[in-house]
Structure 1
Amino acid sequence: MPPTSLVSKPHYPILDGLRGVAALVVVAFHLCEAHATSHLDQVINHGYLAVDFFFLLSGFVIGYAYDDRWQAMTVGSFFKRRLVRLQPMVVLGMVIGAVLFYAQTSALWPAIGQTPGWKVLLIMVVGCLMLPVPPALDIRGWNETYPLNGPGWSLFFEYLANILYATVVRKFSKLALGILVFLAAVALVQLAVTSPAGDVIGGWSLEPLQLHIGFARMAYPFFAGLLLFRVAKLRTVNNAFLWCSLLVIAALAMPRVGGPQHLWMNGLYDSLSIIFVFPLIVFLGASGEVVTSFSKKLCGFLGDISYPIYITHYPLIYTYTAWVQDKKIPWRDALPVAVLVFLLAVGIAYACLKFYDEPVRQWLKKKVAV
């Protein structure tokens, strides 16, 4: 039997459900993005902030799951646990990206048709190892670190956050952690308000500016989530899942703020949402309870598919975007296909969860003694 302190803890079911709500909004956001001409007319305009919400949730949950376990857990065993939790779906996401790659041939990505199969396989293997792809191996032309499955960039920063937590930040006092979070908040506001595009979008490239964006988007929310866990005094909140879900959807669906003349205003919205609104949502969600059988099943389902849908949906988005752009399909005509792609993304995520992710994680836990 494992030590009591290493037995899996109960989840916060509402936080699981909120992660699923945000993941579904991300899929809808990316479908809408295929029809946008710029950030200014993007429908579900702030869906990109879901990444920052995920980082904050992750920091809170990591603190809850591991802060009191270090007497009985080594850094190595922590990394084993995180690898078992995250890596199987990273691998499958890259495989799906490779399988669908040539179906995405488009004027948007003229390099696809000229890319030899061996290079696609090489990029897939590199991606499965969670190594960022240098510009010389960019086979799509979007300068992505994971050109087969773009959202892999956020998992790269998730791993970096976990490494920083396990090796350094877990030892911080509340005061030291608070100072780190404050400095990260200042850096985030500076990035968002001075951004040439008026937002925090980015982080998926090895270019210095993109790395700056990625670190800024990871540092504040992840460590703010950890701090929130350590200092929050939870209260009883009725109907927390409903209200928090509405807040998440409202924050992510918010229309563009300020317009082209006042880009800094949208940057301010981004930073204030990440710094204040998202911690409030997590606090309220952690304070609530699910009381009905339906709510428990719904939160469980949404939580279960949240990670699989996030890490597997984007190859479908590449394919959908290529179709829309090459055929010049207006949103009204594309809507039935968009709905089909959305439902397909959910179905694929659930199938991946049940027939791959859960069995593989159970097998790995036995093999690496987690």
Structure 2
Amino acid sequence: MSGPRPPQAHPPVTPLPALTALRFVAAALVLAFHYAGAFFADAAVPAPIRLGYSGVTFFFLLSGFILAYTYRAVDLRDRAARVRFRWARVARVMPVYLLALVLALPWFVSWVAKSAPPLQGLMAASAVLAPLGLHAWVPGAACALDCPSWSVSVELFFYALFPALLPLVLGAPGRIARLTLGAWIVLTGGAGLAFAHYAPGVSLIGPEAGGPGPVLLAQAIKYNPLLRLPEFVAGLLLYVAWTRRRIPTAALLGSAAVAAFGLVAAAPILPEALLHNGLTALAWAPLILAGAQIRSGPLVAPAFVFLGRISFALYLIHVPAYALVNSLDRIALGGRLAAAPWLGAGLATALSFALSLALHLGLEEPARRRILRWAARRGEPHPVSERSATIRQDETLPASGRSAASG
């Protein structure tokens, strides 16, 4: 039985399928960043892939943009509307998220066992904190259990604030923009200065060489939800800007390309904290605006849109997939894949795609429908997900760190 047919949680919105396809681009960039660090020497990694962690900034911006677009006409001061919004988020995010944590457990146990205090205790805490979505708040725990899951923890914080943030942004976008920019400069700039002082010469992206202190400080900077909040608010503001003035798509795409080229070229001299925590929005923001306007071409092709739909599962499963390939290589092949990095990366990528497809079709969609029907039977109005906005958008994704195990 299909269950009751309850009312929608928000007015219908026009689909934005190109943004769904762009989700896959960002997820693939994160995967390439992690696999490049896992399989190839640093010197062999192309400069754009070195900035692959910036796919996280794309997802945080997209989250704000899509949620504002979807809920712009909903009065979230109403308790029932807030309940519907929360059920929509639970149904969208939690099934695949929790299963990804379970699949990563064998390697998590191994990594914790091999670690030394104080990292060992903090990493072990992730077993409790990650299922609750709280691990991004605790350095050491944030990246221990399926590292990409830290961004879900951050997103849950964004969701908690969204009902209060949306009316503020819609009501006073100029003031909120100034406050957000100021907060980003103070928080991110201060964090970068602190890291340079306490971990001189150590990379924020790969702090492991500096020891436990730099690792914990780097995680506090890269994963803390408060430090990432400006990116989400920027996404809300991006939606407001889009409603007030439509810039030609070609101009937006050109701006995104110029900004991307400039960021890649200047990356060696720019502070890593700024790059990691939002500066790449200079390229992602015009791309999102362009994607919101595109109605034809490759980005709206059904195959590309479908890849975007499975991108959440791809994002969360690609690190366990790498760990499985690496373990099988050591057990069955004696580590021979180290001499064939392209083969190792290809096998891990193929496994990631196969698992993400299975998770999307076998768990993500069926579980979402069951949760929504269950909420309807409890008497809650139907907490419709934001499928109508991007045909299967996601506000999560991201990952950071230099290797598949650390980021």
Q: TM-score, normalised by structure 2?
A: 0.70
The alpha carbon displacement at 1:93 in A equals 0.7
The alpha carbon displacement at 1:41 in A equals 7.3
Q: Residue 206 and residue 49 in structure 1: after superposition, are their counterparts in 2 closer, same or farther (change >3 A)?
A: same
Q: Residue 291 and residue 88 in structure 1: after superposition, are their counterparts in 2 closer, same or farther (change >3 A)?
A: same
Q: Residue 35 and residue 206 in structure 1: after superposition, are their counterparts in 2 closer, same or farther (change >3 A)?
A: closer
Which digits, 9 at most, give the CA deviation of each residue in 1:191-237, with x for residues without a partner?
575343565789xx995763444235522211001001012223452
Which digits, 9 at most, give the CA deviation of each residue in 1:3-30, with x for residues without a partner?
5662553431111111111101111211
Cα distance in structure 2, aligned partners of 1:265 and 1:129: 32
The alpha carbon displacement at 1:249 in A equals 12
Instruction: Tell me the residue number matched to 2:350.
Output: 343
- Is the Cα–Cα contact under 8 Å of residues 32 and 42 in structure 1 kept in the other structure? yes
- Is the Cα–Cα contact under 8 Å of residues 133 and 144 in structure 1 kept in the other structure? yes
Which digits, 9 at most, give the CA deviation of each residue in 1:218-266, with x for residues without a partner?
22211001001012223452698xx58x9599679947833xxx5x455
Cα distance in structure 2, aligned partners of 1:84 and 1:151: 19
Q: Residue 21 and residue 335 in structure 1: after superposition, are their counterparts in 2 closer, same or farther (change >3 A)?
A: same
Q: Residue 247 and residue 325 in structure 1: after superposition, are their counterparts in 2 closer, same or farther (change >3 A)?
A: farther
Cα distance in structure 1, aligned partners of 2:103 and 2:144: 12
Instruction: Tell me the residue number matched to 1:231.
Output: 241
Letter in 2 for 1:224: A
Cα distance in structure 1, aligned partners of 2:148 and 2:95: 15
Letter in 2 for 1:180: L
Instruction: Tell me the residue number matched to 1:18.
Output: 22
Which of 152, 158, 163 is the matching residue for 2:160? 163
Letter in 2 for 1:341: A
Instruction: Tell me the residue number matched to 1:116.
Output: none
- Is the Cα–Cα contact under 8 Å of residues 204 and 273 in structure 2 kept in the other structure? yes
Cα distance in structure 1, aligned partners of 2:232 and 2:7: 27
Q: Residue 144 and residue 37 in structure 1: after superposition, are their counterparts in 2 closer, same or farther (change >3 A)?
A: farther
For the residue of structure 2 that corresponds to 1:6, the secondary structure is: coil
Which of 274, 282, 285 is the matching residue for 1:279? 285
Which of 28, 35, 42 is the matching residue for 2:32? 28
Within 5 A, what are the aligned runs for 1:16-95?
16-35=20-39, 43=46, 44-70=49-75, 74-95=81-102
For the residue of structure 1 that corresponds to 2:75, the secondary structure is: coil
**Higher mean C-alpha deviation, range 192-201 or range 66-75:** 192-201
Matched, 1:219 2:224: no
Unaligned runs of 5+ in 2: 117-122, 197-201, 208-213, 377-382, 384-407
Letter in 1 for 2:30: V
Which digits, 9 at most, give the CA deviation of each residue in 1:331-363, with x for residues without a partner?
661211210111110111011000111000001
- Taking CA–CA contacts closer than 8 Å with sequence separation of 6 or more, which of the two structures ends up with the larger relative contact order? 2
Which of 129, 132, 135 is the matching residue for 1:129? 132
Q: RMSD value over aligned CA atoms?
A: 4.1
Letter in 2 for 1:84: A
Instruction: Tell me the residue number matched to 2:174.
Output: 175
Which digits, 9 at most, give the CA deviation of each residue in 1:149-177, with x for residues without a partner?
11111111111111112234533422332
Instruction: Tell me the residue number matched to 1:9.
Output: 13
Aligned residues between the structures: 343
Instruction: Tell me the residue number matched to 1:186.
Output: 185
Instruction: Tell me the residue number matched to 2:387.
Output: none
- Is the Cα–Cα contact under 8 Å of residues 238 and 289 in structure 1 kept in the other structure? no
Q: Residue 341 and residue 348 in structure 1: after superposition, are their counterparts in 2 closer, same or farther (change >3 A)?
A: same
Unaligned runs of 5+ in 1: 113-118, 136-141
